[in-house]
Amino acid sequence: MSHIELPPPVAPDWHRWRSGLFGGWGNSLITLAALGAFAWLFHPLLRWAVIDAVWTGTAKDCAVDGAGACWAFIGAKLRFILFAFFPPDLQWRPALVVATVLALLVLSALPRFWSFRLVPLWIAALVLSWLLMAGTLTPPQVSTNNWGGLPITLVVSIAGLAFAFPIALLLALARQSNMGVVRTLAITFIETLRGVPMIAVLYVAMLIVPLALPSGAAIDKLLRAQIGVTLFFSAYLAEVIRAGLQVVPWGQREAALSLGLGYIQTIRLIVLPQALRAVIPAIVNLSIGIVLNTSLLAVIGIYDLLNAAKTSATDPTWLGFHTEAYVFAAAVYFVICFTGSRYSIWLEKRLNAATRH
């Protein structure tokens, strides 16, 4: 007798929800009690954020008794929070940069478009973004001192990841190398940068580097910060990539060599495609970390999204709406990071499915 094993039937979602929440007297009671507790706990928050909130007007309208959140403040300060000191009539430039970068991100996120053609595309996009923001090709020029807000958060994160990647790749390979000097240098670099907090790296980039440079030579502050962020993450990324390299059995390299492939060919054609595929979810995770870490740029006086939000509450005409400013910034960060983490989960499932077949 042979019989086919069928998977147990799966009830539709709403059906399972209903039976779970209101499946019996006990369940119904617990559900209602939980809902009640929820409403009781979050009612003040709801009142503050929605019911009593002030949506339009000036700081005076928000100062009345019993007023909740002052979203009018966000309305008035939205441009500053998003673009900081960028001249208002030129703010289409950072807006365009944000749009381009987001579009490219979506494109790069889809496995269908994965190819090495993305690399020159990204480099071109980042260089063009820089030229557009600075106004090198389309005057008037805008000093990097006046850049800020969301474009800084996005561009510093993405450029940090993009430029950290080749460095990290070399570091990871160097760490596996049999050449003692190269290996020691790579280990020293990685462990030093992983051993200090990012704030220390930023302070060095900001304060020590200009002193160390010969007088007269100067590197732009934002560029120095960008280099600091890039080096910092290259150390972490190198360790992620090294984990990937270890996934590929050593025998495959030897097989490649016996086929007459050189070192670079072996790495490029045999090792990396397998190694990187294995660590893509970890890289996405690290990228989320980069986005959140860019908020540390505030301590060296760069106006990233969080710093711009914080500063917007020091305007004497809109004094002290720190809570609203932080809530808004948190919402933007949440959208970015939540999207990233959902994407990571989706990608992991997809890649797992791909390897099983």
Partner 1 sequence: MQRNSIGSRFFTKAFAVTAALTAALIASSALAGETLDKIKARGLIKVGVGTTPGYFTPDSSGRWQGFFVDFGRALAVTVFNDAEKVEFTNSSPQQRLPALQSGEFDILLSGVTQTVTRAFKLGFHFGPVVFYDGQGLLVRKDLGVAKGEELDGATIGVQSGTTGELNIADFFRKTGKAFTPVTIEETGEFLKALDSGRVDALTQDATDLAAKRTQLSKPDDYVLLPERLSKEPLAPAIRAGDDQWLEIVNWTVYATIQAEEFGITQKNVDSFLTSEDPGIKRFLGVDPSLGEAIGLDPKFAYNIVKAVGNYGEIFDRNVGKGTPLNFDRGYNQPWTAGGLLYSPPFR
Could you say whether residue 52 binds partner 1 (CB under 8 A)? no
Could you say whether residue 301 binds partner 1 (CB under 8 A)? yes
Within 8 A by CB and 6+ apart from 281, the residues are 344, 347, 348, 351
Backbone angles phi, psi at 211, to 5 degrees: -70, -35
Backbone angles phi, psi at 187, to 5 degrees: -65, -40
Measured from the CB atom, the residue of 77 and 130 that comes closer to partner 1 is: 77
Q: What is the DSSP string of 176-234?
A: H-S-HHHHHHHHHHHHHHHHS-HHHHHHIIIIIHHHHSPTT----HHHHHHHHHHHHHH
Could you say whether residue 182 binds partner 1 (CB under 8 A)? yes
Could you say whether residue 188 binds partner 1 (CB under 8 A)? no
Could you say whether residue 319 binds partner 1 (CB under 8 A)? yes
Which residue in the set 11, 179, 255, 259 belongs to the binding site for partner 1 (CB under 8 A)?
179
x/- track of binding to partner 1 for residues 132-171 (CB under 8 A): -----------x-xx-x---------------------x-
Could you say whether residue 22 binds partner 1 (CB under 8 A)? no
CA dihedral 266, 268, 270, 272 (to 10 degrees): 130
Which residue in the set 54, 72, 84, 245 belongs to the binding site for partner 1 (CB under 8 A)?
84
Residue 54: which H helix or E strand, with range? none
Q: How many other CB atoms sit within 10 Å of the CB of residue 182?
A: 16
Could you say whether residue 58 binds partner 1 (CB under 8 A)? no
Binding residues for partner 1, how many (CB under 8 A)? 53
Binding positions for partner 1, rule: CB under 8 A: 76-77, 79-80, 83-88, 143, 145-146, 148, 170, 173-174, 177-179, 182, 203, 206-207, 210-211, 213-218, 221, 253, 257, 262-264, 266, 299-301, 303, 311-312, 314-320, 322
